[in-house]
Amino acid sequence: MSALEAKKIAEAEDFLEQAKTASDEYAKAGMYFKAATAYRMAKSWNMSKDCFLDAIECYEKNKSWFHAAKSYEQIILLAKENDTLSEVEDYANKACNLYQQHGSLEAAAAAMDKAAKMTESKHPELALGFYKRALGVVIIGDSTHQASEFASKVSRILVKLKKYEEASKALKKEISLNLQTKSYAQVGRLVVALVLVQLTLGDSVDAKKSFKKWGNRCDPQEVKTLETLLQALDDNDQEQAVKMLASPFITHMDVEYALLAKNMTWEFK
């Protein structure tokens, strides 16, 4: 143990002693929070987590929902530092619940967003759940623009996880949200993404329906590419299909959708 770590543990123990004589639950929570922070700096992860949980209990007794939620977020940060992110689902959802109980929808969505970003690389299934919840929160708050941003993250992770049926539904929702905000240029790209997902599912009928329904929001290049691609598949013209899938605007789409096109190209070769 380093000199700094020993110093911080001593500070934490002092705060715990002060908590025993605190004047009320809120003051006691503050001492537990300070103790947790000191233990964290000493890299005493379990003690830090236990103190944050004690602080949360006191905050909740005092009905300080916002501060309790903040303490749960500190536990999530601990998990990141301690590489135990697979355990954060319950804590993240509790933080979201408390923020909502406090009436802070923006903070609730932000908590889910932060948890998702932390877990997306190693635990994409967890991140998917967090982004879905964030989407639900901002829809409650009637923030359509922000909802479209979270919807985009949901769609991309579903494609990454190869959950194409669900991704198809998510992309349709994303298109609807972007139509509400009149983000027509984005809708065009989403139609291309949706067609690629539906073709990956082997459902050229639905792909044609999607193009027919929203194709008027595509730019001329997108329209020409999709028309030619769908016709090439009807004609079993693999060479033409590969050419369309290699179109520059498709290869420069978000990586998840560009990979779909690349995978389809490999199947044709």
Mean pLDDT of 51-55: 97
Query: pLDDT tens across 146-161, in order?
Result: 999 999 999 999 999 9
Pull the structure tokens for residue 145: 């623009």
Instruction: Say how many CA atoms lie within 13 Å of 41 toward its Cβ.
Output: 15
Work out the angle between the directed axes of helices 164-180 and 204-214 (0-180°, nearest 10): 0
Is pLDDT at 251 greater than 80 in this prediction?
Answer: yes
Structure tokens at 104: 């802070």
Residue 269: which pLDDT band, with cuts at 50, 70 and 90? low
Quickly state the pLDDT bin for 130 (edges 50, 70, 90).
very high
Give me the mean pLDDT over the 76-92 stretch: 91
3-state SS class at 58: helix
User: Tell me: the pLDDT tens digits for 2-48?
Assistant: 888 889 999 999 999 999 999 899 999 999 999 999 999 999 999 99
pLDDT at 268 over 70: no
Domain spans of the chain?
A: 1-63
CA distance to 50, 191, 201, per residue, from 15 (Å): 14, 57, 59
pLDDT at site 38: 96
Radius of gyration of the chain (CA): 25
Residue 187 makes CB contacts below 8 A (sequence gap 6+) with 175, 178, 179, 214, 217, 218
Model pTM score: 0.90
- In this predicted structure, the answer to whether residue 190 has a pLDDT above a threshold of 90 is yes
Torsion of CA 153, 158, 164, 168, to 10 degrees: -30
Is the pLDDT at 242 greater than 60, yes or no? yes
Mean pLDDT of the chain: 93
HSE (side-chain half, CA atoms, 13 Å) at 180: 15
What is the model's pLDDT at position 121? Answer: 92
Split at pLDDT 50, 70, 90, the class of 267 is: low
- Residues 85-128: pLDDT tens digits? 888 999 999 999 999 999 999 999 999 999 999 999 999 999 99
% of the chain at pLDDT higher than 90: 83
Q: Does residue 249 have a pLDDT over 90? A: no
Spatial distance between the Cα atoms of 247 and 229, rounded to a whole number of angstroms:
10
Alpha carbon 121 to its chain's center: 11
